[in-house]
Every structure is written in structure tokens, then in C-alpha cells.
Amino acid sequence: MASTCYKLLFNFILFIFTLSPTSSHPLDPLCPEELTLVRTIVTYSTSNNDIIFSYVALDEPDKPLVLYWLSNPTSPPPPRRALAITRFDKETHEFIVDLSTQSIISDKLVCDDQGYPTLTLGERTEVSLLPYAYGPFIESMTRRGLNSSAAICSAYTLGWFGQDKTKRNVKLQCFYLNNGSVNFYAFPIEGIWMIANLDKMEIVEYSDRHAKPIPKSEGTDYRFSEQKPPFGPRINPAANCQPDGPGIQILGHMVRWGNWKLHVSFDARAGQIISTALIYDEECQRYRSVLYRGYVSELFVPYMDPTLGRFSDTFFDAGEYGLGYNAVSLEPSTDCPNNAMFMDGYYASDDGLPVIVPRAICLFERYAGDIMWRHTETAIPSTIINEVRPDRSLVIRMVATVGYYDYIFDSEFKPDGSINMEVGLTGILAIKATEYTNNLQIEKEIYGPLVSENSIGLNHDHFFMYRLDFDVDGIHNSMVKRKLVTERNRNSDTPRKSYWTVISETPKTESEANFQYGLDPVQVLIVNPNKKTRLGNNHGYRLLPASFIHPLLTENDYPQIRAAFTENDVWITPYNKSEKWASGWYADRSRGQDTLAAWSRRDREIDNKDIVLWHLMGLHHVPSQEDYPIMPTLKARFELHPNNYFERNPVLKLIPT
């Protein structure tokens, strides 16, 4: 024990001297040296070598300190601190670590009834190996005529269904490597209910019910090398040529492109985070603030099979698994075009040591033949005018593969000041094996369509909740609801009978602001009531939603209680540093007591305050045969567009190529 403590102390001293004294930006993610320092400090303070690091990240500095530093970059940066959520002695602890003084500021014990931390990759791997040495599972495989060594098992969260007490348990779902096909998700081993405890690392519950046939392997492999003629059309190579070099400048995590300046970082839970986005206004010759912080706060994926083996498949992909933990290395010229630039990502593994995700984020300039603005004029005698500006944009991309699905997260910035957020969904369906091979045989509810023989593609939803901390020309902002209302024409001078007009209202509290889009046209703006254009309009940004999704589970269903934040398309809350995750800090087996919906019930003031816009988008997915064996990409998106933010068209004087 003494030698272990001396070794930890030596590592602690070593990293004090190797750690860079300051960060180049207060919101930079923890670098590998800082991650290792956090591990050393926490492990040394607890004297526990079995500690599990569930989530280690920057403890975000208070916003006023960051804004002050940004306006006075020669001043000392805010204190550099880290948050470490750990698990040891079957308890969850939150540590706040001061990296400059190399000390622990706080150690908070988290009660299990609040939920459990994110599952680590190490825990998921270890628990998934348990079935191979578990006698009842081996016997079940033998009865099915299957080789247990050809099974691949995965750990899935169990959710919460009204229990007074929960344990840190997961469900183990196993699949079969069938005839060499790598698409093992296409071959679920049905009928086995297997629960394992992560604290004990042992199987604690097991039952085997009626087995279903393993689907056929023909046509399930998605690799090109395994495809057989006839083949589809050939896609000709395409390249982006930039004779003057790339237009993107990257210094650390700061990015400059066109008239934009912003910060890009990587987080184990959220994945890609965009911060301190500023746009240069040519009219007033200065950068102006738009977005302080924006990211995917949660991704809720409930499956619609309520039967015993599948009812618990209601996943919070960010809170339970971590989008950053599941980020993949992007492939040049395929995941991203040939003109892309890359950033690596780092997170702490379950033992606290840093793990690199090479090329976790790519940044590239997009030109797909779109038009920024144009006009052709032929009404002037002897004159034809054609003025066209080709569109350009900066795309920041990350891909996370969470179990079945691959999610492509794009943040796109345009010269006109608009920001597009888009998610592409591809990957593999959740398949349930069945005895049916044709729709004519089906006599009962099977909770999804047949997508292949003996294969059901289960119905499910994808709810993406974005947290968007707007700072439209400053931190004091308001929400404006613009309702488009039909009016009768009372002017007898014309034969028109009707028109529509705009009725605007400014909600004062959260309950007045939160709403779900319906049939009536409503527009949402975030404005600065203290800043006006020369014409007297408030500087603002407008939300343009494109992918509506409303929950279809009953309000008293347990997954919906945990995901009550999906009840509204728009939420407005006052800025609160701790209110980061729509599903709460501890999503695994949570009970819905620490969510966006719970915070908002306080009905706080939001008018002319530092406010946060939460926007929900997503898809109800009824699978089809085209989604099998691997899905073409579906997309969900929304846009944030300037609304009287500029005095006139901000790209009018853009220099043509």
C-alpha cells in the first residue's frame, strides 16, 4: 500500500511540472495531461485503486468570468477546474478538482435514487463477457443448437419502472455471428432475459422462454466486398479544389472562417460543443455575439415493443452511454471531403487514463452548387443584369456510433449569419426475430414491420434535445412569440376578404414560453430588447424548425416520466450553469426528478434575462425494407436565422469568387 501511495505521489508531482500553466481558452476541453492529473489527484485522495471514472470534463467556469476574459484576453483566465464523476465502494462521488492548485475543492456523495452515472466503455465490455462463463446461458445456446462462442453480447440500460429502490443493473442482449456475416445485430437470440449487476460484475437474474428462429444470413452483410452482382451505379470521384488554400483557420480550439469566429470542443457526454460564436458585422466594424454555447443535451430513443424481453429498451444515448464516448474516427474523403481539417478528441477511460479519438471532429467548407442570393433583371431597356453569389458554409461534423445507430452531427455556419443544426441517422435497425416470413402470416401485433424474412424492424423514436445558450448582442435577451393570425378585410375599397397579420407577445416566465408546435403558425425569436436597429427593430435570431416530433407515449408511462422534456418543442429557461443535461446529471435509472421539465416548473422570470433556448427535433421511425440490412441516411434539422440582427443584407458586399 505504501509503495502504491509513493507511486501516486510521484506521478502527481510529475504532472504538476508537465502540465501547461494556462489554457488558451477558458472553455477548452481537458487535455491528456489534465485528464491524467485529475486521475492522480482523485485516486490519491481516495486511496482507492478500484475507482471507476464515469465522466471527467471541464468544470465550466462561471459565464461572467469567461465573458470578462474574452473582452480582456490579457487578464488572468478563470480558475481551471475539472469535474470527475466516479464510482467506488458502490457509491457515486462528484469531485471538483482545482487544476492550478492541484487540490480537491469538493467531494459530493450522490444518492442512488437520483440515478447512476454514464456507463463506461470498460464496464460495458467487462459485463458483456459474463455470459460466456455462465452455465445457464451455455445450456440455453446448446438447446438452440448454437455455439455459445459465436455469440456477441451487449449491455443495455434498464430504465426505471416505478421501483422504490434500484441497483446498477443492465440487460444483456446477445446476438449470433451467423455464417460469417459481420451484421450480428441482424441475428438476435430471442427468449433470454439476462440481468447483470455492474457493481458486482455478475449475472443476477436469468430466464429462458420460447426461442425464436435465427434469421437467415443471406443479404445481411453490408460490406462492399461481400456484395454480389448486379451492382448499382458507380459514384464518380469528386474533389473540392481551393487554389487559394483553405479558408479555415484553427488555433487550438478557436476557429475562424469568413466572418465567423467560434470555439469548438469535445465532451465525453455531449460530443461536439460550439461556444462563443461571434460574427463580424461590416457595417459597425466589430464582432458581435450570437451563441455562447450550443450542443445536443440529450438523445432519447424509446422502442415501441412493450413485451417482456424488450419493454426496457428506452435509451438516453447521451446520458446513459455518452455521445463522445462513442465518437468514431472520421475517414478523410469519405466521412468528410478532401478539403477537411480535423481535431482529435480526448476523454478519460474508466481507469481515468486519457483516451484519444483521432479525427473525432472535422471542419470543412461546403459548396454544393447552392445559391447565396441572385437576381436577373430584364425590365431595363438594353440591359440585362445577372447578379449571383454562390453559397458557402463552414461545417463542423462529428459521428457517434451508439449501438445500432450511427449519428452524423453537423453544425453549419453561413456568411449571412444563419446557423443550421442537422443530424443524419444511419446504421442498423433494432431487429427482433420472428417466425413470420410474410405479412399474410401475421395475426397479432408485432410492434414493427417485417423488413426481411424472420426479421422485424421495431418501431421507435429519435428525440434530439438541443441546448442553445443565445447571447444575441449581449446576455440580456427575451423570447418573442409571433403568431400569424387570419383577419377579415374590413376595407370596402377592395374585393379581398381576408389577410393574415402578426401578433407578437413576450413571455415573462417559463410557463408562458414553453410550448408545442401545433396547426397554428407560430414563430419563435430570441431578441435583445436593449439593442435596436436604426429603424427601431430589436436585434434578434429566429428559430426555423423543420423536423417536428411529439411524444406518443402516455404521460404516466415510466419512460415518458423520465423524458418529460420531450413534451414541448421549445423551452426557455434562465441561464443556470448546472442545468446542462435535459435528462438530468444521472440519467441511468433516473426517475425524472432532475430534468428540464422539473426545473421549468419553478416558473422563473425570463424576460430581458440571460436565457437558454431548448429545442426538440427528431423522427418517428417506422422501418421499411429499404432500411435493411443498413439504413440510407435520414435527416432531421433546424435553422437559426438572423432577424433584424443586421441593418441590411450582410452578404450584399461579399466579394464574388
DSSP-assigned beta bridge partners for residue 399 = 408
Q: Is 405 a catalytic residue?
A: yes
Residues 6+ apart with CB under 8 A from 334: none
Contacts 24+ apart (CB under 8 A), 22-26: 22/77, 22/80, 23/77, 23/80, 24/251, 24/252, 24/253, 24/254, 25/252, 25/253, 25/254, 25/263, 26/61, 26/65, 26/66, 26/69, 26/77, 26/78, 26/80
Residues 6+ apart with CB under 8 A from 182: 221, 222, 223
CB 342 within 8 A of CB 263: no
DSSP class of 474: S
Q: Which of 247, 272, 267, 414 is nearest to 341 (CA)?
A: 247
Q: Which of 342, 295, 290, 307 is nearest to 542 (CA)?
A: 290
Q: Is 372 exposed, middle or buried (0-12, 13-18, 19+ CB in 10 A)?
A: middle
Cα(628)–Cα(338) distance, rounded to whole angstroms?
29
Cα(111)–Cα(115) distance, rounded to whole angstroms?
8
From the candidates 267, 317, 416, 594, which is the catalytic residue?
A: 317
Residues 6+ apart with CB under 8 A from 572: 479, 507, 510, 513, 514, 606, 611, 612, 613, 614
Cα(336)–Cα(248) distance, rounded to whole angstroms?
15
CB 540 within 8 A of CB 632: no
Query: In whole angstroms, how far apart are CA 184 and each of 341, 429, 525?
Result: 34, 11, 46
Q: Which of 498, 57, 94 is nearest to 295 (CA)?
A: 57
DSSP string, 170-228: EEEEEEE--TT-S-GGGSB-TTEEEEEETTTTEEEEEEE----PPPP-TT----GGG--
Query: In whole angstroms, how far apart are CA 536 and each of 27, 73, 422, 644, 645?
Result: 35, 33, 33, 10, 11
Cα(467)–Cα(576) distance, rounded to whole angstroms?
12
Q: Which of 155, 124, 122, 157 is nearest to 52 (CA)?
A: 122
What's at 550, amino acid-wise?
H
Task: Kindly provide the b/e burial profile for residues 457-490, where b requires at least 16 CB atoms within 10 angstroms of the residue's own CB.
Answer: bbbbbbbbbbbbbbbbbebbbbbbbbeeeeeeee
From the candidates 116, 405, 436, 466, which is the catalytic residue?
A: 405
Cα(192)–Cα(207) distance, rounded to whole angstroms?
6
Cα(281)–Cα(454) distance, rounded to whole angstroms?
59
Backbone angles phi, psi at 356, to 5 degrees: -100, 140
Helices 2-18 and 32-46 sit at what angle, rounded to 10 degrees? 150
CB 290 within 8 A of CB 414: no
User: Residue 549 is placed in which grid cell?
Assistant: 416530433
> What are the catalytic residues?
317, 405
